[in-house]
Amino acid sequence: MEDMLAVSIWRGGEDGEFVSYDVPRLENQTVLDVVTYVQRKLDPGLSYRFACRVGMCGSCAMTVNGRARWTCRTHVSRVADDGRLEIAPLRNLPVVKDLSVDMVDFFDKWAKAGGAFSPTKSRADDFAAIPPGDAKRRQANAGIECIGCAVCYTSCDVVTWKPGYLGPAALNRAWTLVNDTRDGLGRARLRLVAGDDGCLGCHSQQGCQEHCPKSLSPTAAIAGLKRAVVVAVLKGKL
Amino acid sequence: MSVEGIQSRVWLAQRLSAMVLAVAVTVHLGGMILAVQGGLTAAEIIQRVGGNGVAASFYGIFVLAAAVHAPIGLRTVLLEMTALNPRVADGVAGVFAVAVLVLGLRAVLGFYQLGAV
């Protein structure tokens, strides 16, 4: 193991540049540890975003050696065999400064995709009884652990080519709600996610599921939405 | 009908036409491989498909499926890879669809009539 890591970090906005830093290599070290070391010891002006450090909040995603990753759970030993790290902001989102990107578009698209739960009962009603083995519940559970890190969004070429495309995370969220029997938005949500900028824009390249740190499959969720759209079209309901 | 409804039907039309094309292309390639065993000449082709109603119907459906499928794909490519206004992309795809349909059916009809002479 090398004593030092050669780290290149993106500094500035969209027209910024990579700046090199030497960071001590440790036995057990994550990429977020490296970025934190640079900010605390070498360059306090470095901007980046993190919160939980345990893979729950989804705020520390960055592009590490060309691939989007959650940096708090990415060990340096897995990605920097030759002792080199290149850390850049996520693509497909505007760079605010250094490693911080503007997530507004990403989360606005969750709202556009009908990502908010639409209850059919009030707090006065009893709990909804849903068997764990229920087929729709299993479909919802498959995508429910999304942490909103935007790694899928930044890895999706369709988002790059078509900025209006809702993206894998928002569509995955919509699919979990389509399968939530307590939700009442129904076909109105299907209308939100149909069309060229919705699920039908997906080319099934599967970059989202290849890169998802939670090993979810937004591609499968989008395929489910496509099937639901086809059924609605054939029934004349869309 | 809503924009999403129209776009969903266009998307579905491309999938359905792809299913037709999958069969049509397989039959076409298989037929060609079999046919060239006896030599590939214009006379031989005309003898096989000219005046043949089954061949004309098959290739008519082939052309129809291609005229539906390819322009929808072209529209998607234009929307994703160029800065064209969506309405312009619709127009280009529409013109391409008419061109494929007219040229394709003209070829099918031409071969059919050659055999009928």
Residue in A163, A60, A41 with CA at minimum distance from that of residue A112: A163
B 54-83 → A contacts, CB under 8 A: 76, 79-81
Q: Could you tell me if A202 and A183 are in contact, meaning their C-beta atoms sit under 8 angstroms apart?
A: no
Nearest by CB to B9, which of A161, A198, A233?
A233
Q: For residue range A118-176, what is the model confidence (pLDDT) as tens digits?
A: 999 999 999 999 998 999 999 999 999 999 999 999 999 999 999 999 999 999 999 99
Dihedral, A218, A222, A224, A225 alpha carbons, nearest 10: 140
ipTM of the complex: 0.87
Q: How far does the CA of residue B4 sit from the closest CA of chain A (Å)?
A: 4
Report yes or no: A58 at the B interface, CB cutoff 8 Å: no
Chain A residues lying within 8 Å of B83, measured CB to CB: none
Written as tens digits, the pLDDT of chain A (238 aa) is: 779 999 999 999 999 999 999 999 999 999 999 999 999 999 999 999 999 999 999 999 999 999 999 999 999 999 997 999 999 999 999 999 999 999 999 999 999 999 999 999 999 999 999 998 999 999 999 999 999 999 999 999 999 999 999 999 999 999 999 999 999 999 999 999 999 999 999 999 999 999 999 999 999 999 999 999 999 999 999 8
Neighbours of A124 (CB within 10 A): 5
Report yes or no: A57 at the B interface, CB cutoff 8 Å: no
Q: How far does the CA of residue A155 sit from the closest CA of chain B (Å)?
A: 16
Q: How far is CA A228 from CA A183, A197, A200, A238, B15, in A?
A: 16, 16, 11, 10, 15
Report yes or no: A156 at the B interface, CB cutoff 8 Å: no
Chain B residues lying within 8 Å of A161, measured CB to CB: 80-81
Cβ–Cβ of B8/A162 closer than 8 Å?
A: no
Question: Domains of chain B: which residue ranges?
Answer: 3-116
Residue reference for tokens 């060229």: A196
Sorted by where each starts, the structural domains of chain A and their CATH numbers stand as 4-101 (3.10.20.30), 104-234 (1.10.1060.10)
Residue in A56, A3, A64 with CA at minimum distance from that of residue A30: A64
Chain B residues lying within 8 Å of A230, measured CB to CB: 8, 12
At B45 the pLDDT is 81
Q: How far does the CA of residue A194 sit from the closest CA of chain B (Å)?
A: 6
Fold of B3-116: 3 helical TM bundles of succinate and fumarate reductases (1.20.1300)
Report yes or no: B33 at the A interface, CB cutoff 8 Å: no
Helix ranges (DSSP H) in A73-216: 76-79, 104-112, 135-143, 151-154, 157-161, 168-178, 187-193, 207-211
Cβ–Cβ of B79/A162 closer than 8 Å?
A: yes
